[in-house]
């Protein structure tokens, strides 16, 4: 008899996006005439086409593979040097990292989940609340938690509430934790973290010998020059932090798939006998065994993001989405709602009108405005009372969403 991993049975069945899907299907079945006018601002997926520079680089790479002289088979598991160098030169110039610290992957969702392979059992793990659900569920799957309570909080995890009072950047935990997931600019709240706030976390991590898993998937959307773009801008982070980045949101790679983890040589963890081991060496070993590299055309496409033309095209995409975010912020403010985020991130985080829960607001928006938003409670108990509007959309749709918000709320 094949035994399954029982931890999977702890996962909550009503995961956010399937539940949204169910409610949207029920609505369109009951109102077939309204299906066509439905606007989806729910899942955080990009909508605009892949930059031309990227497409050209990918076409060229495919043609190289079609010629015996330029054909390439398996590439280096950790990524091609051309891309690791481009990342180090463009993202980490003047920071304590080199191309050898960059591990190219097929995206950050996989990376943030897979990283748990190299950490042992028994770590005290902290996540923010609300949170990107992948961090939590991958810890459940690997056995780092107990069961969920009725609010969906898993026993064994430390939840750090992110509220309007703390500007959606959590206070340091009172207890000692070993691993902390932080994501700034944040999904779902759209908040960004200041230098001082990140410094406090880095100091905490050094003092408590903990590791910060820093997800910077939305770095490209930072508009404020005071907001740090990388955790390594904070002194000491090279001793205690890993940084996850993705080409999904800046380059529109959600379907193409490419990202990376930066792991400085100086980040270490302890073996069960107390020996200090480099995290980078473990991740490198893990990568060689379990991964055969992101595809060559994809890595060439990612490299093109750093070309002159690529940078301009990415800027235009970011400007487009951030323009959407500004319109959504404006519309929500105009109708008297409390609005957060959307200034350095493509998500607008809005307090529900008095008396409505997150799911009430979801239903109201679906039924009255025919707009799909994401209920805050789906990202954690502390998300109750909020909803997220994604700015990933066409300008036309966003203008229409703003009009409907003003009409129906
Ligand atoms: C979109 C997103 C990512 C990127 O995921 P990919 O797998 O690279 O597409 C990572 N973290 C967060 C919080 C995200 O929202």
Nearest to 350 by CA among 334, 368, 367: 334
Task: Name the DSSP class of 169.
Answer: -
Which residue's CA lies nearest to atom 15 of ligand 1? 187
The atom number, within ligand 1, closest to the CA of 259 reads 8
Which residue reads 């200041």 in tokens?
194
Q: How far is the CA of 179 from the centre of ligand 1 (A)?
A: 19
Which residue reads 């750093």 in tokens?
306
Which residue reads 């409670």 in tokens?
377
Question: Is the CB–ligand 1 distance for residue 187 below 6 Å?
Answer: yes
The atom number, within ligand 1, closest to the CA of 258 reads 8
* Exposure of 210 in the CB half-sphere (CA atoms within 13 A): 24
What's the CATH number of domain 55-307, 3.90.180.10, 3.40.640.10, 3.40.50.10860, 2.60.120.200?
A: 3.40.640.10
280 forms beta bridges with: none
State pTM to two decimals: 0.97
The CA distances from residue 32 to 1, 25, 29, 400, in Å, are: 47, 10, 6, 20
Q: How far is the CA of 43 from the centre of ligand 1 (A)?
A: 11
What's the CATH number of domain 12-49+309-408, 3.90.1150.10, 3.20.20.210, 1.10.3720.10, 1.20.1290.10?
A: 3.90.1150.10
**Res 198: pLDDT:** 98
Most informative mutation of 168, 186, 246 for ligand 1 (most atoms within 8 A of CB): 246
Q: How far is the CA of 342 from the centre of ligand 1 (A)?
A: 17
Token pair for residue 255?
């379907």
**Res 13: pLDDT:** 66
- How far is it, in rounded angstroms, from Cα 300 to Cα 83? 7
pLDDT of the chain along its 409 residues, tens only?
999 999 999 998 667 888 999 999 999 999 999 999 999 998 789 999 999 999 999 999 999 999 999 999 999 999 999 999 999 999 999 999 999 999 999 999 999 999 999 999 999 999 999 999 999 999 999 999 999 998 889 999 999 999 999 999 999 999 999 999 999 999 999 999 999 999 999 999 999 999 999 999 999 999 999 999 999 999 999 999 999 999 999 999 999 999 999 999 999 999 999 999 999 999 999 999 999 999 999 999 999 999 999 999 999 999 999 999 999 999 999 999 999 999 999 999 999 999 999 999 999 999 999 999 999 999 999 999 999 999 999 999 999 999 999 999 8
Question: Is the CB–ligand 1 distance for residue 390 below 6 Å?
Answer: no
- How far is it, in rounded angstroms, from Cα 128 to Cα 183? 9
List the domain boundaries for the chain.
12-49+309-408, 55-307
């Amino acid at each position: 008899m094949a035994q399954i991993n029982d931890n999977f049975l702890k996962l909550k069945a009503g995961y956010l996006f399937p539940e949204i899907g169910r409610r949207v299907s029920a609505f369109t079945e009951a109102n077939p005439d309204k299906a066509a006018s439905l606007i989806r601002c729910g899942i955080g997926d990009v909508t605009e086409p892949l930059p031309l520079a990227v497409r050209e680089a990918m076409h060229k790479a495919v043609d190289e593979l079609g010629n015996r002289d330029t054909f390439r088979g398996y590439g280096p598991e950790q990524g091609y040097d051309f891309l690791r160098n481009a990342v180090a030169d463009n993202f980490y110039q003047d920071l304590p990292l080199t191309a050898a610290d960059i591990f190219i992957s097929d995206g950050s969702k996989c990376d943030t989940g897979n990283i748990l392979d190299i950490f042992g059992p028994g770590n005290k793990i902290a996540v923010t609340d609300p949170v990107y659900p992948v961090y939590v569920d991958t810890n459940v799957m690997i056995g780092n938690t107990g069961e969920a309570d009725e609010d969906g909080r898993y026993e064994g995890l430390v939840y750090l509430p992110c509220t309007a009072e703390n500007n959606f950047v959590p206070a340091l935990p009172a207890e000692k934790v070993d691993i902390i997931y932080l994501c700034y600019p944040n999904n779902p709240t759209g908040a960004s973290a200041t230098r001082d706030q990140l410094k406090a976390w880095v100091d905490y991590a050094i003092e408590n010998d903990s590791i910060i898993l820093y997800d910077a998937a939305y770095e490209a959307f930072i508009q404020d020059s005071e907001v740090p773009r990388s955790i390594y801008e904070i002194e000491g982070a090279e001793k205690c932090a890993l940084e996850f980045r993705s080409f999904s949101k800046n380059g529109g790679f959600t379907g193409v798939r490419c990202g990376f983890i930066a792991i400085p040589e100086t980040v270490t963890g302890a073996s069960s006998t107390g020996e200090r081991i480099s995290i980078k060496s473990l991740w490198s070993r893990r990568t060689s065994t379990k991964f055969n590299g992101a595809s060559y055309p994809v890595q060439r496409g990612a490299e093109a993001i750093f070309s002159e033309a690529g940078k301009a095209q990415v800027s235009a995409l970011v400007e487009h989405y951030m323009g959407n975010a500004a319109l959504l912020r404006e519309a929500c403010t105009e109708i008297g709602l409390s609005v957060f985020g959307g200034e350095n991130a493509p998500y607008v985080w809005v307090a529900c009108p008095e008396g409505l829960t997150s799911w009430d607001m979801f239903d109201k928006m679906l039924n009255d405005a025919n707009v799909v938003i994401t209920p805050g409670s789906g990202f954690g108990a502390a998300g109750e009372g909020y909803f997220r509007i994604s700015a990933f959309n066409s300008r036309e749709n966003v203008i229409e969403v703003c009009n409907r918000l003003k009409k129906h709320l």
